[in-house]
Structure 1
Amino acid sequence: MPSIPTCFTPFNVAIDHHPLPERFTFPFYYQPHPLCIMAAEELQLHLNQQNEWQHNFGLTDDKHNVIGKMFGVMLVQNRQGELGYLAAFSGKLANNNHLPGFVPPVFDMLHQDDFFLAENKIINDLNQKITLLQDNPKRHQLTAQLQELNQAAIAAIEAHRGLMIERRKHRKAQRAELALTLHNQDLQAAELTLNQQSVAEKLQLRDLKLSWDTKIAAVKLELDTFNKVLDSLKLDRKQRSSALQQRLFDQYTFLNANGAQKSLGDIFAATVERTPPAGAGECAAPKLLHYAYRHSLTPLAMAEFWWGTPPKSQVRRHGQFYPACLRKCQPILSHMLEGLKVDPNPLLENPADDKQLTVIYQDEHLLVINKPAEFLSVPGKNISDSVHTRIIRDFPSASGPIIVHRLDMSTSGLMVIALNKQTHELLQKQFIQRSVTKRYVALLDGQLSTTLGDEGSISLPLRGDLDDRPRQLVCHEHGKNADTRWQIIANQGEYTKVFLYPKTGRTHQLRVHCAHVQGLNLPIMGDDLYGVRGTRLHLHAESLSFTHPVSGKPLHFQLDADF
């Protein structure tokens, strides 16, 4: 029998005036239901006031071991028809999997009696033995000695070969001289002596190689005694780690609304990766759904929010709601949501269906257009309608790649379009050489800090977030350089109007540079990826200057934003 749902929390205030959601939240793109917002606010109040456990979210002056966390709340109904909510955190909190009021993990690998801790201890012991062997002074000495011997052997053998070459030249000269002064038997005797010298030198080379091989083999044999043990320990660790990982995958089993169970391994076997990524199954959303199903609670809606200091790479703002991650959670939640009535995926709808491209300039070689917000530049994974497909439809004589540069789907503004291959190549060359001048206007969600001044530059390298595409990360190790110049136009209370001049053209560059804590630390208004979703993203490519690829005439276009 299922245990009593001790994590079910009734609301502290009256909620009768709020209608219930008709369908469960589509977890990868949503606006939080009012009751989920209320549940999140109650949970946040608890996080601020509780003293049962300690975790440094970075919200005080203590900057030691700061770790922000993603939390989730789920609106549920029990069998008596009562409404309440569940709360969960992703991963561990305060070095624990279990904390009062939060749903437990789907599988607790840190339980004292569990196989994971016992097997993990063996693997950790193997790691220590491997480290000790790798750092053994005698092994380092033998490795260095072997390298020195190999180098000395090569040098000695090459020196002897050089000597043989010189002596061979000398004997050749001798033979030529002897052929002029000696005859018959005397010449034959002299030739024999010279041949014997050649044979002797070859034998010396052979003996020299054997001598060095013997010295090297002795050191290598001694070193191999270390490396064979090391290789054996590494193989044992690899096999144990793989077996432990597979056993963990089998222990993580997830229910869905139909009562069907699937293991983590089975869920990810159908994906491109085939193997679950690290941390899969530990996020808040799977924990909440699994607990609800196990305790006969009906899931109605959910929301997740970030609490604490943002991580160095991601854009995360304290207290803000975020969707579930795609790489770890989408395969799991796709199974767990089976049997629930879920909101339709808005990402499958074409937001450009009723929008038109406006041609600002046109000649036989190129176009300059105004791309509306929420309009793809090129066909996407689920939506084919785009600038590219519209241009092909409306300009049937156009040829070549057509798209010279792109604007993000949510960004509006000026784009130059090539109507033939040659124009495309010449325009693209200007973009590559950065001779094209672009200026964007944006509204930032809040007042920009006065400490930043009125203008400046941002240099934060970017790469794709492998766990949550299409979001981008700041990554100083693997990211591509991204540079933006900015300038304040007006500070107007709830928002700041700025000009943005991108020197590079990375995906979401302006959006991340504005929102990231090391950038302007203010997201662009309406940014559904890095800020708070609104009626539109307030980012517009308003100015574009380049040289006409055929006439050589400078062209400049400006189109004011409509926000």
Structure 2
Amino acid sequence: MFKELEHAECTDDSGVLTYPYHYRAHPLVIQAANFVRQHLNEHACGQAGRLVAVLVGRMPDGVLGFIAACDQFDCTDSYFEKTFWQQLPSEELKPLNTDRIEKAFEEKIAAQEKYLNFKEAAHARKEHRQRQRASGVFNPEALIASSQFDSGELDRLKLKYILALQAEEAARSDFQHRTHIAVENEWKRRLGSIQLQNKLGRKATLLDVLSGYLNQEDLLKAILRSALPALLNVAYAEKVAPVAMGQSWWGPVASYDARGEGTFFGFARERHEKLLNFLLEGEKLEKNQLSLQTFKDWKPEIVYEDDDLVAFNKPAGMLSVPGKLPVNDLYSVAMTLYPEATGPMLLHRLDMATSGVLLFAKNKSTHRALQMAFAHGSVRKRYIALLERAPAQTSGEIDLPLCLNPYERPRQMVEYTYGKPAQTVYKVLNVNENGQARVAFYPKTDRTHQLRLHAAHAEGLAAPIIGDDLYGHAADRLYLHAEAIRFIHPTTRELLTIEVPCPF
């Protein structure tokens, strides 16, 4: 049920809906999210933190309203809409008959016991025959007959045991197949019970849209627990025209994660794309800001060059390498500037949002030598960052293993079991009058988002980098700059340091 957005501070209604995967929060969404946070502060104090999606829409009477739902969190508070996961009918999967498996197991055990018992007895008779032969007093025909009988019976019992093993395996395989079919049919029943409707009035069931995920149960459950699709479905059913949407974090953060309170996050494409492609059919969306050709006319700034190497000053917001979107990247620029270069050129990368020194090799031998140097940790890098607040210690080392958060790409997380080792040495250079700390980072490893998560995580510095819209709070840019890189030049064998002064 949509709640009226009282005293709406922004009535702009351009008819262009939020691009879900990367956006700046609309003022109406911020206003609605403030109401939601106020409700949670009053009614969920002490409870687990959660990601809350908000949809602002224009109701049939022209009044602006909003609805909200909790993403990946089974909330029972009636203030929030239910996710599709919460709307699913109860599971009715009945236990399957296991008589065949049990019978096959019993027959296998019986065949195994007969085989092993006879084998043990046959071995004893073999030793007895050997003693008789050694004594010189024996009946050769009787010993041969005894040996042949034991050998033949042993082969027969062994074959029977093998057949019993195969029968049990076939029974278990059949049971697994029947289980798979039963589970799949149960999913079909449950998903087929929920109707979807989009702006164009086209209808489908969850099963129609998500049938390709029936064998990916973990991902399917994550998709069904996503909040935004359920909100859009409510809006279209109630003839409410969506105006803007967004999601932000409220409350305590999980131990593996780092999120800024009240920060708005793009909707994870892996969990949303399939449903949103259907639900948003016919909607005019904002342009993806990441797809804009911001650097179309960019003039490369070369900060170092010799016969083997070239280093550029990569601006914040520019890709290091080609991505899925048709926008300029520094690797392509380098390949265009140096068509005679041999080998792949690329030596390392910087996040799109990070500025600073990016190094390329002009030939294969240089590339091979420096790749080995990177792999062995003999290339040293210095980053400068501006943090939201001063860390508790003025220097030290952060050691938090990292890995990808699978359903929240490109976000990473701290994971002690599956994460890869990640170490960062840091030193606070100064703290300004606003309490923001200027810090030098010296990464020992090179993991995705290592400095960003090491800065923001509670077990790291608990001080996000300013402008970090993934782990802190958005600003005009990410205040992280690769200021220097130092290594032994593979040709001259001299220590080379390439620096680009920090722009902030």
Q: TM-score, normalised by structure 1?
A: 0.76
* 1:509 equivalenced with 2:487 (yes/no): no
Check whether the contact 1:355–1:372 (CA below 8 A) recurs between aligned residues. Answer: no
Amino acid of the residue matched to residue 330 of structure 2?
Answer: V
Matching of residues 13-412 of structure 1 within 5 Å: 14-15=7-8, 19-50=12-43, 60=46, 67-94=48-75, 96=76, 99-106=77-84, 108-109=86-87, 114=89, 116-117=90-91, 119-120=92-93, 122=94, 203=148, 206=151, 209-210=154-155, 213=158, 234-268=176-210, 277-383=220-326, 385-412=328-355
* 1:10 equivalenced with 2:11 (yes/no): no
Check whether the contact 2:22–2:266 (CA below 8 A) recurs between aligned residues. Answer: yes
Tell me which residue corresponds to 2:426. 486
Check whether the contact 2:304–2:312 (CA below 8 A) recurs between aligned residues. Answer: yes
Q: What SS is found at the alignment partner of 1:405?
A: coil
Structure 1 residues 210 and 143 mapped into 2: Cα distance closer, same or farther (>3 Å)? Answer: closer
Structure 1 residue 245, shift from structure 2 partner: 1.0
Structure 1 residue 84, shift from structure 2 partner: 2.0
Q: What SS is found at the alignment partner of 1:71?
A: strand
Q: What SS is found at the alignment partner of 1:103?
A: coil
Deviations 1:293-312 (A, max 9, x none): 11111111112112222223
Check whether the contact 1:106–1:253 (CA below 8 A) recurs between aligned residues. Answer: no
Check whether the contact 2:85–2:221 (CA below 8 A) recurs between aligned residues. Answer: no
Q: What SS is found at the alignment partner of 1:278?
A: helix
Give the Cα–Cα distance (whole angstroms) in 2 for the partners of residues 398 and 551 of structure 1.
19
Amino acid of the residue matched to residue 342 of structure 2?
Answer: S
Deviations 1:88-112 (A, max 9, x none): 2235544x3xx433334457546xx
Structure 1 residue 522, shift from structure 2 partner: 2.4
Structure 1 residues 374 and 105 mapped into 2: Cα distance closer, same or farther (>3 Å)? Answer: closer
Deviations 1:477-531 (A, max 9, x none): 3322222222222233342211111111112211122222332222211123222
Structure 1 residue 375, shift from structure 2 partner: 1.6
Amino acid of the residue matched to residue 148 of structure 2?
Answer: L
Give the Cα–Cα distance (whole angstroms) in 2 for the partners of residues 487 and 147 of structure 1.
68
Q: What SS is found at the alignment partner of 2:285?
A: coil
Check whether the contact 2:108–2:161 (CA below 8 A) recurs between aligned residues. Answer: no
Give the Cα–Cα distance (whole angstroms) in 1 for the partners of residues 343 and 426 of structure 2.
34
Structure 1 residues 87 and 483 mapped into 2: Cα distance closer, same or farther (>3 Å)? Answer: same
Identity rate, percent: 30
Amino acid of the residue matched to residue 3 of structure 2?
Answer: T
Structure 1 residues 392 and 273 mapped into 2: Cα distance closer, same or farther (>3 Å)? Answer: farther
Give the Cα–Cα distance (whole angstroms) in 2 for the partners of residues 458 and 10 of structure 1.
47
Check whether the contact 2:314–2:355 (CA below 8 A) recurs between aligned residues. Answer: yes
Amino acid of the residue matched to residue 42 of structure 2?
Answer: Q
Structure 1 residue 16, shift from structure 2 partner: 5.2
Tell me which residue corresponds to 2:492. 551
Structure 1 residues 107 and 476 mapped into 2: Cα distance closer, same or farther (>3 Å)? Answer: closer
Q: Which runs of 5+ in 2 are unaligned?
A: none
Structure 1 residues 344 and 431 mapped into 2: Cα distance closer, same or farther (>3 Å)? Answer: same
Give the Cα–Cα distance (whole angstroms) in 2 for the partners of residues 378 and 16 of structure 1.
41
Amino acid of the residue matched to residue 415 of structure 2?
Answer: C
Return the index of the structure with the highest Cα Rg: 1
Give the Cα–Cα distance (whole angstroms) in 1 for the partners of residues 300 and 128 of structure 2.
80
Give the Cα–Cα distance (whole angstroms) in 2 for the partners of residues 480 and 445 of structure 1.
27
Structure 1 residues 515 and 253 mapped into 2: Cα distance closer, same or farther (>3 Å)? Answer: farther
Structure 1 residue 409, shift from structure 2 partner: 1.4
Structure 1 residue 258, shift from structure 2 partner: 0.9
Amino acid of the residue matched to residue 41 of structure 1?
Answer: N
Tell me which residue corresponds to 1:533. 474
Of 19-28 and 392-401, more deviation after overlay is shown by: 19-28
Give the Cα–Cα distance (whole angstroms) in 2 for the partners of residues 153 and 484 of structure 1.
65
Amino acid of the residue matched to residue 203 of structure 1?
Answer: Q
Root mean square deviation of aligned Cα: 4.2
Q: What SS is found at the alignment partner of 2:331?
A: helix
Of 231-240 and 74-83, more deviation after overlay is shown by: 231-240
Check whether the contact 2:263–2:474 (CA below 8 A) recurs between aligned residues. Answer: no
Tell me which residue corresponds to 1:519. 460
Structure 1 residue 145, shift from structure 2 partner: 10
Structure 1 residue 460, shift from structure 2 partner: 2.2
Deviations 1:229-261 (A, max 9, x none): 877765543322110112223233322111112
Give the Cα–Cα distance (whole angstroms) in 2 for the partners of residues 161 and 441 of structure 1.
81
Structure 1 residues 100 and 272 mapped into 2: Cα distance closer, same or farther (>3 Å)? Answer: closer
Q: 1:470 aligns with which of 399, 410, 415?
A: 410
Give the Cα–Cα distance (whole angstroms) in 1 for the partners of residues 373 and 237 of structure 2.
60
Amino acid of the residue matched to residue 361 of structure 2?
Answer: A
Give the Cα–Cα distance (whole angstroms) in 2 for the partners of residues 272 and 431 of structure 1.
42
Check whether the contact 2:115–2:154 (CA below 8 A) recurs between aligned residues. Answer: no
Structure 1 residues 367 and 382 mapped into 2: Cα distance closer, same or farther (>3 Å)? Answer: same
Of 31-40 and 383-392, more deviation after overlay is shown by: 383-392
Check whether the contact 1:107–1:251 (CA below 8 A) recurs between aligned residues. Answer: no
Give the Cα–Cα distance (whole angstroms) in 2 for the partners of residues 303 and 228 of structure 1.
51
Check whether the contact 1:356–1:372 (CA below 8 A) recurs between aligned residues. Answer: no
Tell me which residue corresponds to 1:187. none
Give the Cα–Cα distance (whole angstroms) in 2 for the partners of residues 359 and 388 of structure 1.
13
Deviations 1:350-381 (A, max 9, x none): 33324333212211111122211112121111
